[in-house]
Structure 1
Amino acid sequence: MKFNAVYAVFIAGVILLGCNQSGGSESGGENAGKKLVIGATMLSMQNEFIVNVSDEMESRAKALDVELITVDAERSALKQVEQVESFIAQGVDAIIMNPCEVEASSPAVKLAMNAKIPIINVNSETSAKPTAFVGSDDTESARIAMKYIAEKLGGKGNVLIMHGFMGQAAQLKRDAGAKEVLKANPGLKLLAEQSGEWDRAKAMSLTENWIQSYGNQINAIFAHNDEMGMGAVKALEAAGLKNKVIVISVDAIPDALQAVKKGTLDATIYQNAAQQGGTAIETAIKAAKKEAFKKEVLIPFQLVTKENVGEFLKQ
């Protein structure tokens, strides 16, 4: 009988201890100690700048002990919406989206907001308002580029504009910024404008067509990104026209920086991929944890020429 009584007391103590331990876990929340999971859908992993943003996101997520699931939208807004739907179904803690298009990617924002999952747009915008936006003012990048062209041409000359993927925020805003400066400089004439879809090979082909149409009339080309700028440079070099045509583009990817150093690309506009990617992750984590965060983070662009390219090559 004494043995049974002692045993009963022992069992009761174990049960009580177990309850106390369970209660301690509950007081820290149901997901205490659980890794945060962030889903990220990127415009295109064939674009070097976007890859740079994604790489920094991966690095920052690892440093902050967060699980990051990254998928490639392959420039399809429809695919991007489906990817966000999948993230919602998986029950991720936050979503980062690098939008394919301003309008067509907007349903993804609405889906996430309705599901009460924070969604952070990085690098590019949507008409639907997300939880937060991390990027740069694309209008400003085009202003910097076109002012550079105006200065180099003394306010007079023929300009070609190579657009990015039509309907994407960067394309729309860089177009607006460029047209603003053109309007303020009536001596600059817009010969033609067309999309090179952010792609180097397509940009090279487009420039070859422009050379056939306009030849020596071309004084400058503003390409909405470096991939296209590099394609334009290659076509101009093959035609023996590079020394006569100013080319400026946006992003300051490694290839472009080397080209500026060599003097084949006249200038590029530095867009901070690392800061955009890292800040997007930090913002997503804060939003998921319901901590204070900035609703909009705008990172300044910088003009890169042969004179200051060394500063950026060191980064």
Structure 2
Amino acid sequence: MKLGIRSLLSFLFVALLLACGSKESSGEKKKIVIGVSMLSLQNEFIQQVSASLEKHAKDADVELIVVDAERSALKQVEQVENFISQQVDAIILNPAEFEASSPAILRARKAGIPIVNVNSSTKEKPDAWVGSDDAESAKMAIDFLAKKLNGKGNILMIQGYMGQAAQIDRERGAMEALKAYPQIKLLATQTGEWDRAKSMALMENWIQSYGDQIQGVFAHNDEMGLGAMQALMDAKKKDKVVVVSVDGIGDALKAVQAGNLDATILQNAEQQGAQAIAMALDLINKKPIKESQVLIPFQVKTQ
């Protein structure tokens, strides 16, 4: 009886080895897994980038694990540590903050896992970066305002979440661009934290403070631009104020077509997601990379 059990176990062990060998010989590969940490899935543009990542991962038969950092750099670093523990093949990071999300890059690098930044930047350099030049979007917005105002007037700037790369670069780009227009005065600038309701309240306060002195508004993203636009419409002042914002989300494009928002500076979420997946796969497969940075241009969208 004992001998029979031993023979059966030996047979099963050999069968298992043969099965494994047959899988290897047939060329069956382990599915590629990529971990993705997004700065906030409450933001419409970030949702668009995430949807593009998922679409192109599916097309490439790649498993994607997407998590929401909820604007917390600390949470984002923890999420990357979890990806490392799960031994994912690569990580795509949509950084919550320029400096505070940088430890995530260092952790991935130490673990030998390729990491790609999408849409935003960190102080520490990843293996690759895919996005758009945020300073360029601000210059395009200021140039648009200057043209509409004939080079003269008072404007306001609503900034994004302080410390995030897009906020830093769009502020820098705007301030550089304003040097070319000495007769355009920046009355005030404050953060709206990428949020429509907060920016609407901020604009209401500015209307109380500055009234008819306001001729233009540059908002770092469309959510904030739409909030400012609504406050101006409610105060029956929109026809005297030019509003421009960045991203090209659906609501902004509709508002532009309706003639309520003067312009949106479109950045291409679809291309950012597609290129980030392609770059991650090249790094996983150790393909030579010609350019570690993929820059996707902005476009001014008007009625």
Residues 1:121 and 2:121 aligned together: no
Other-structure match for 2:293: 296
- Are residue 273 (structure 1) and residue 269 (structure 2) matched? yes
- Out of 132, 137, 153, the residue aligned to residue 133 of structure 2 is 137
Aligned length: 292
1:33 shift after superposition: 1.1
Identify if the C-alpha distance between structure 1 residues 152 and 25 changes in structure 2 by more than 3 Å, giving closer, same or farther.
same
Q: Secondary structure at the match of 2:179?
A: helix
Paired with 1:70 and 1:141, the residues of 2 have a C-alpha distance of: 27
- Equivalence map 1:17-56=2 (5 Å): 33-56=29-52
Q: Return closer, same or farther for 1:200/1:101 CA change in 2, 3 Å cut-off.
A: same
C-alpha spacing 1:28/1:113, structure 2 compared with 1 (3 Å)? farther
User: After TM superposition, what 4+ stretches of structure 1 lie above 6 angstroms from structure 2?
Assistant: 17-21
What is aligned with 2:216?
220
State the TM-score, normalized to the length of structure 1: 0.89
* Aligned-partner Cα distance in 1 for 2:19–2:47: 45
Please give the alpha-carbon distance, in whole angstroms, between the structure 2 residues aligned to 1:91 and 1:23. 24
| Pair 1:68-2:61 in alignment | no
Q: Which residue of 1 aligns with 2:84?
A: 88
Shift in Å, 1:24: 6.8
Distance in 2 (alpha carbons) for counterparts of 1:85 and 1:70: 14
Describe how 1:173-252 pairs up with structure 2 within 5 A.
173-252=169-248
**Counterparts of 1:269 and 1:122, CA distance in 2:** 18
For residues 113 and 218 of structure 1, what CA distance do their matches in structure 2 show?
A: 48
Q: 1:66 to 1:245 in 2, by over 3 A?
A: same
C-alpha deviation, 1:184, in angstroms: 1.4
* Uncovered stretches (5+) of structure 1, i.e. residues with no partner: 1-10, 307-315
Q: Which amino acid aligns with 1:196?
A: G
DSSP 3-state at the match of 1:92 = coil
The TM-score normalised by the length of structure 2 is 0.92
Identity across the alignment (%): 61
Separation in 1, partners of 2:26, 2:149: 65
Encode CA deviations 1:174-228: one digit per residue, 9 max, x unaligned.
0011001111111000000000000000110000010010010000000000000
Q: Which residue identity is paired with 1:234?
A: Q
Amino acid at match of 1:277: G
| Residues 28 and 127 (structure 1), Cα distance of their counterparts in 2 relative to 1, 3 Å cut | farther
Work out whether 1:257 is the aligned partner of 2:256. no
1:242–1:185: structure 2 CA closer, same or farther, 3 Å change rule?
A: same
Match of 1:40, as an amino acid? V
Please state whether the residue corresponding to 2:212 is helix, strand or coil: helix
Cα 1:150/1:268, change in 2 over 3 Å: same
CA distance in 1 between partners of 2:63 and 2:177 (Å): 44
